[in-house]
Structure 1
Amino acid sequence: MDTVTRPRILVVGAGFAGVECVRRLERRLTPDEADVTLVTPVAYQLYLPLLPQVASGVLTPQSIAVSLRRSRRYRTRILPGGAIGVDLKSKVCVIRTITDEVVNERYDYLVLAPGSVTRTFDIPGLTEHAFGLKTLAEAAYIRDHVISQLDLADASDDPAERAARLQFVVVGAGYAGTETAACLQKLTHAAVRRYPRLDPALIKWHLIDIAPKLMPELGEKLGRSASQILRRRGVDISLGVSVAKAGREEVTFTDGRVIPTHTLIWTAGVAASPLVATLGAETVRGRLAVDAEMRLPGHDGVFALGDAAAVPDESKDEPGVICPPTAQHAMRQGRRAADNVIATLRGEPLRGYFHADLGLVVDLGGHDAVAKPLGVELHGLPAQFAARGYHWAAMRTNVAKIRVATNWTLNAIAGDDFVRTGFQARKSARLRDFEFTDAYMSPEQVREHLAATEQGNP
């Protein structure tokens, strides 16, 4: 029987950071230098920034799920599952496969890019009644749900029920929440024309955030412009406010208001993957503490990056500043982490991560957008071209680019049919149904599992 003598590189996570790392490893390593394994439950990279456009029907789900098997060079082994624990001393990653089997994967070099989960708080009813927006399934479900509220309101003769079904609440006025509210408001505004029994004035969208400003990263001028666009379209923006309690048919705000609604979409930030807690390593604001080269201190050959790592932001003058959890940072960190893994493998010097910001783009649906590419402030169509041009260029395969461009063109010309797929009509799809945060092991459970495995009793 052949024995593996090549070093084993294990990459955990197929988000922006993990996929960029694998792509770089495949380009720069020869087949004889190392074996690369990627742990991911799905064999595609999800282009997260465009999820609001999937939820609003502008794009199809397949168009932003970029196949790994099409874009890779077919050398990397894909292990279909999710990492639920890591023993750094034994150099073993514990993985739960998509068939619910628990397996141990040994490594020589480990790249941790498990991403993030939705950040929630101890708010009564939140995880039971709120929708999240971090997966394709959630985006598709939210679209079905929003259209179903129009259908049910149209069929109802109860004015109170009709009004409740036509109120929608989005929590989180960052990029994800703002784009979600903007795109879905466009969806309902266009769809209500097909419902002659419904009064368009009854449709109300609420965007709330505990922060004092809408997307403060945009700056005062662009943030104010985005707010004006949304308010002009009828979106009620409440800042300095959050959710006090979530129910099946109403949401209570911290300012005392009670909004009758069947739709609460929660996009109030992200937290590092629970996998981080299984390592027993030092963390910074819940993310793994790493150096500028993205190495985990005290553990040779272990790197962490993306949303799960507190990578120092060397572009800032102030000490202690860490990189925000954005796609721009994750992609560039993935490439630099791959270079540093290869340098470690070859005994070469490592290089620190340094980020030169490309700017920000926010697509508000239709012709509305604000953008700040390379520090240049844009509004309207120029901003829309910049936003969509950036996203289009970031798609990793030509097939994905063609699908996205075709979807945008078809939607602009023909609009939407507002059809519900119904494939999840009988299934719950709230936050607690998608995050699976209880699937991870504690450090003690990882050690107990490995000990039991060695004794032949996993």
Structure 2
Amino acid sequence: MGPAKIVIVGGGFAGVECARYLERHLRPDEAFVQLVTPDAGLLYLPLLPQVASGTLNPRSVSVSLRRVLRRTEVVPGMVIGVDSGLRQVIVRRPSGGELALDYDQLILAAGSITRIQDVPGLHEHGFGMKTLSEAMYLRDHVLRQLDVAAVRGEEDDDRERLNFVTIGAGYAGTETTAVLNKVCQAAAKRYFPRLESSMVRWHLVTHGDRIMPELGPRLGAEAKRILAERGIELISGASAQEVTARGVLLTNGRFIPTRTVLWTAGVAPSPLAGHLGAATAKGRIIAEADLSVPGLQGVWAIGDAAAVPDLADGGDGCICAPTAQHAIRQGRHLARNLLATLRGEPIAPYHHPDLGMVVDLGGKDALARPLGIGLRGIPAQFVARSYHLMALRTVVARARVAFDWGVHGLFGDDFLRIGYGDYDQHTIGGFEQTGCYLGNDEVPLLLKALSETGEADPV
């Protein structure tokens, strides 16, 4: 028999860590490894809010898989189906069309997506914070609201543009709200003299009465205090009932006029998890403690898409939380089990205690709970940033992130928009706006119309 064919589905923390470990310990004649992913980069999700705030360059938080993986074949595409009987996966190519990949061992690490509830208008008008494109687009959009509000002067319109609403007070929602509020306040104070910083209002909406409950009650209360001092309104016991182009109606009956609704109310497993014929728990593939999938020979599941028993928390009905920390360690542990399987050796259950949480709220404000020890301020900031640097997978990525932090700390933000959302067409004419100019006969007519409506007055 030739080398075993190992197919890894997903280029996130779990899948990449598994592939890296296999590369270091597999002999070339033992197995051939393929990793299927829509993107060629490993996105470091915990730092996305800092991309949205402009603290970090987008390239700094996305590591090239071809730099990380040298012996693994990276297959661009998305797995859209699995036939466990034929031992094949169906991959949809980015350029269109499908291909089938054979496997002897299949590792499902498809990750998660934003959990979108059935809220009218959310698909059309809501913003997410799950991909690099969403983070960059959100930054552009927020700064555009400041740009427009600084020159229009219409009270109702300005109120809508300078109200920002985040639905969901988990880590992504709280961190993004904190850092973007800081950006808006600084921009209004330094570069928009017509705007008062008090006009900029961020609202953080949560179902419960706590934010980031994993921090514990003491640090959770400290997070509330920091947000309140920054003027961020915490709205407890509510969620979005309807989202429109000019506001959001909450389930408590309150309507907030806004052009920006950021939806971070949890994540859901990849839809692929529901198409395998395997048992699921809340959409996640039920896995054994050794990370194998019951009833599917040669199939394993890890990361956000898998419901893995949490043996460190007793294991009796408890499953591992969908965190980067668990995904990285599950990927490494699965690689060890896979090596043992190929070599006819016994495999071991996954067991890893939670090492704690870190939260960066921008500036000198941070919270951390390493090994159960509560920290705040500069010590917490040091722990948080040290953890992120260690978790990044290449020296290049660490250097870029550290450099960006240093430059931003010394010189601040330029509050520069790239203009991603300003164009209706993704063509040369669309990006360069070559068709927007008026003809000579149209100029006087438009000026006359503006004069009659008062829009021609100088700002």
TM-score normalised by the chain length of structure 2:
0.91
Q: Identify the residue that residue 227 of structure 2 maps to in structure 1.
A: 230
Give, as a single letter, the amino acid of the residue that structure 1 aligns with 2:73. R
Q: Which of 205, 213, 216 is matched with 1:216 structurally?
A: 213
User: 5 Å matches for 1:207-356?
Assistant: 207-317=204-314, 319-356=316-353
Give CA-to-partner distance per residue, 1:47-88, whole Å, 9 cap, x none.
00000000000001000001111122x111010011111111
RMSD: 1.3
For residue 212 of structure 1, report the CA deviation from its aligned partner.
2.6
For residue 318 of structure 1, report the CA deviation from its aligned partner.
5.5
Contact 1:250 1:258 in 2 (8 A): yes
The structure with more radius of gyration: 2
Do residues 385 (structure 1) and 357 (structure 2) align?
no
Q: Identify the residue that residue 421 of structure 1 maps to in structure 2.
A: 418
Q: Identify the residue that residue 411 of structure 1 maps to in structure 2.
A: 408
For residue 286 of structure 1, report the CA deviation from its aligned partner.
1.0
Q: Identify the residue that residue 156 of structure 2 maps to in structure 1.
A: 160
Residues 112 and 427 (structure 1), Cα distance of their counterparts in 2 relative to 1, 3 Å cut: farther
Partner Cα distance (2:315, 2:4) in 1: 38
Q: Which of 36, 53, 56 is matched with 1:59 structurally?
A: 56
User: 5 Å matches for 1:67-78?
Assistant: 67-72=64-69, 74-78=70-74
Partner Cα distance (1:31, 1:408) in 2: 40
Q: Which of 18, 23, 35 is matched with 1:21 structurally?
A: 18
Moved over 6 A (4+): none
Partner Cα distance (2:245, 2:277) in 1: 38
Give, as a single letter, the amino acid of the residue that structure 1 aligns with 2:108. L
Partner Cα distance (2:400, 2:167) in 1: 30
Contact 1:301 1:344 in 2 (8 A): no
Partner Cα distance (2:15, 2:93) in 1: 18
Give, as a single letter, the amino acid of the residue that structure 2 aligns with 1:164. E
Q: Which of 162, 175, 179 is matched with 2:175 structurally?
A: 179
Higher relative contact order (CA 8 A, sep 6+): 1
Contact 2:9 2:35 in 1 (8 A): yes
Contact 2:313 2:353 in 1 (8 A): no
Partner Cα distance (1:239, 1:81) in 2: 41
SS in structure 2 of the partner of residue 351 of structure 1: coil
Count of aligned pairs between the two proteins: 425
Give CA-to-partner distance per residue, 1:120-163, whole Å, 9 cap, x none.
11111111110011111111000100000000111212111011
Do residues 85 (structure 1) and 88 (structure 2) align?
no
For residue 278 of structure 1, report the CA deviation from its aligned partner.
1.3
For residue 347 of structure 1, report the CA deviation from its aligned partner.
1.0
Contact 1:301 1:341 in 2 (8 A): no
Give CA-to-partner distance per residue, 1:428-455, whole Å, 9 cap, x none.
9xxxxxxxxxxxxxxxxxxxxxxxxxxx
Contact 2:141 2:421 in 1 (8 A): no
Give, as a single letter, the amino acid of the residue that structure 2 aligns with 1:47. Y
Partner Cα distance (1:167, 1:255) in 2: 18
For residue 238 of structure 1, report the CA deviation from its aligned partner.
1.1
TM-score normalised by the chain length of structure 1:
0.91
Q: Identify the residue that residue 370 of structure 1 maps to in structure 2.
A: 367
Q: Which of 106, 120, 125 is matched with 1:124 structurally?
A: 120
Partner Cα distance (2:273, 2:284) in 1: 7
Partner Cα distance (2:175, 2:420) in 1: 25
SS in structure 2 of the partner of residue 155 of structure 1: helix
Give CA-to-partner distance per residue, 1:67-122, whole Å, 9 cap, x none.
111122x1110100111111111111111111122111111100000000101111
Q: Identify the residue that residue 441 of structure 1 maps to in structure 2.
A: none
Contact 1:39 1:79 in 2 (8 A): yes
Give, as a single letter, the amino acid of the residue that structure 2 aligns with 1:23. R
SS in structure 1 of the partner of residue 312 of structure 2: coil
Q: Which of 94, 97, 110 is matched with 2:90 structurally?
A: 94
